[in-house]
Amino acid sequence: VGSAGAADIEGKIRAREEKLAPLYTQIACEFADLHDRTGRMEAKGVIRKGLHWRKARAYFYWRVRRRLLEHEAIRRVQEADGELSEAGAKALVASWMPGGDDDKAAVAAAVGASLDAKVEAVRVEALKRRLKSLYAQLPEGERASALL
């Protein structure tokens, strides 16, 4: 094939590529879009439930408010009981916050509940554990005088 024939073939290839480019672009976009669809994300377990655009602002307001309350409560619980792991504190705080997936109900319950009293109870239990540990470390002869 001569240089004129090669140029002719290259021209035909470019013309064919330009003709098919919109079709391939459309297929690529549809394929990529399928990965971000709500149904697919739910099926893969990436999200719990699809979100309606009109309710998005309220949803995220209550979600952020709940998460901030939870993080503050976890911090306070860990301050009250230094031996408690973050996972343990998180589980404890989760048991205090009813509402399941309903963030608005969880926030209402957390605000209405006496979080201070619950954190104080955690602090007292931690102190009791510490005192029992210290008492057990005392020699037998010193234990009676330590209780005075």
Chain segment 30-88, per-residue pLDDT in tens: 888 777 778 878 888 888 888 888 989 999 999 999 999 999 999 999 999 999 999 99
One-letter amino acid at 138 equals L
pTM, 2 dp: 0.63
67 contacts 55 by C-beta, under 8 angstroms: no
Query: What b/e string do you get for 96-133 counting C-beta neighbours within 10 Å, with b at 16 or more?
Result: bbeeeeebeebbebbeeeebeebbeebeeebeeeeeee
CA distance 88 to 79: 13
- What three-state secondary structure class fits 136? helix
pLDDT above 80 for 21: yes
Q: Per-residue pLDDT tens for 103-124?
A: 888 888 777 677 888 899 999 9
| 35 token code pair | 């990965």
* CA–CA gap between residue 84 and residue 90 (Å, rounded): 10
